Amino acid sequence: MGVADPPALALPDKPSIAVLPFQNMSGDPEQEYFADGMVEEIITALSRIRWLFVIARNSTFTYKGQAVDVKQVARELGVRYVLEGSVRKAAGRVRITGQLVDAETGTHLWADRFDGSLEDVFDLQDKVASSVAGVIEPALQAAETARSAGRPTADLTAYDLYLRAYAMYLLSARHVPEVLRLMERAIARDPQYAPALAWAAMCCHRLVYDSRSEDPAADRGKGVDFARRALEVGGDDPGILANAPFALAYFGEDIGAMMTLLDRALALSPSFARGWHLSGVLRLWAGQPDIAIEHLGTALRLSPRARVGWSHADLGAAYFVSRRFEEAVPELRLVIQEDPSLPLAHRFLAASYAHMGRLNEAREVVERLRGITSVVIPDASYLRSAEHRELLLSGLRLAMGETG
């Protein structure tokens, strides 16, 4: 190991796997989002297997477009198995190929290809996941990967719109209005498309939370409606049981009930990094910062190479409400360095500096925040603890006082 190499992550106490980005073999760069969507679905199916530890997409996609050494990838992510593959979509047909490598020995354990029509795409994804699970642990039933909610939509145009929107959501906070428009087009084609409904609810939350909504009251109403409809039709899909309750909690629904739904998502899918992250945020909002820090830490272990983004923003916020300002500041500065468009990180950083007496730095952060939004002091009612709410708002008022 070179001197500059980070220490290898300890292997979990159960079989562990990372799914690398699949190559887009369609000959059309525009189809990249489709290949990425296939990998996301395979990761989701594998995450539903309780005896597997599955690394999140955000970390494995840091290797996209690179020639990778499987052993190095496994060491950096702390897993034993690595799945590679490719996707070809042409003339209404889809071909998914995959190969599974035991990174400890470098042995290729399995390779196969799955062909079908575009209409069969969900079955093909499940077959890949089931085959991989069966190779890793033949004695256990791979049937656990079967979709509990069945096919999410029969409308392939709606599915295509959803994949485009989802890929865009991951890029930056600035894309949220366009993501919502695409999700709404998917819902218009299939009003019972639960994943699209849940993500539309998340978009409404983001518009209001980031102070980018042109009509906050209307977006709140839409967000609640989308989330409730998602829960009605979503069955036991962990993604819906995470996104919909999260949006509802933000819009004021009983937070205890929403945390119970999120706990259900994590029981169904213990490797669901995003679910652990959202659970951590709900604990933060509920006034339980220590549990929040623990759950956010679990999310980061499941996605050790994730973009800094929201996990560190919410970690910074949890440190802030715990009055651990010295720990909050580096987390929040990291976030702003990566995505300067996130108002949350600026607000908590300005308030941290203010409470530390570093008023000049607080004022500078407020000035940068004004370049993103006119709303410096937000509606903080999502923080259920009056003490935590006042800590944020008083910090912001201190920072604002220095701006004259």
Check: CATH 3.40.50.10610 for 16-145? yes
Question: Domain limits of the chain?
Answer: 16-145, 154-267, 271-404
The DSSP string of 283-338 is: HHHTT-HHHHHHHHHHHHHHSTT--SHHHHHHHHHHHHHTT-HHHHHHHHHHHHHH
Give pLDDT, residue 394: 97
As to burial, measured by CB atoms within 10 angstroms (0-12 exposed, 13-18 middle, 19+ buried), residue 6 is exposed
Closest CA to 17 of 64, 68, 63, 84: 84
363: which residues sit within 8 A by CB, 6+ positions away? 399, 402, 403
Give pLDDT, residue 128: 83
Looking at mean pLDDT, say which of 128-132, 166-170, 285-289 comes out highest.
Answer: 285-289
Q: What is the mean pLDDT of the segment spanning 292-305?
A: 90
The DSSP string of 66-112 is: S---HHHHHHHHT-SEEEEEEEEEETTEEEEEEEEEETTTTEEEEEE
Tokens 């201190």 found at: 398
Q: Which of the residue ranges 125-139, 203-217, 353-367 would you say has the lowest mean pLDDT? A: 125-139
Kindly tell me the sign of the dihedral angle through the C-alpha atoms of 304, 256, 205, 198: positive
User: Into which CATH architecture does domain 271-404 fall?
Assistant: Alpha Horseshoe (1.25)
What letter represents residue 1's amino acid?
Answer: M
Tokens 């980070």 found at: 6
Give pLDDT, residue 242: 95
Q: What is the mean pLDDT of the segment spanning 193-203?
A: 96
pLDDT higher than threshold 90 for residue 199: yes
Same fold, 16-145 and 154-267: no
Indicate the pLDDT class of residue 138, thresholds 50, 70 and 90: low
Closest CA to 116 of 125, 107, 108: 125
pLDDT higher than threshold 50 for residue 235: yes
Q: What is the mean pLDDT of the segment spanning 313-332?
A: 96
Fold of 154-267: 1.25.40
Looking at mean pLDDT, say which of 22-36, 95-109, 142-156, 312-326 comes out highest.
Answer: 312-326
Give pLDDT, residue 382: 94
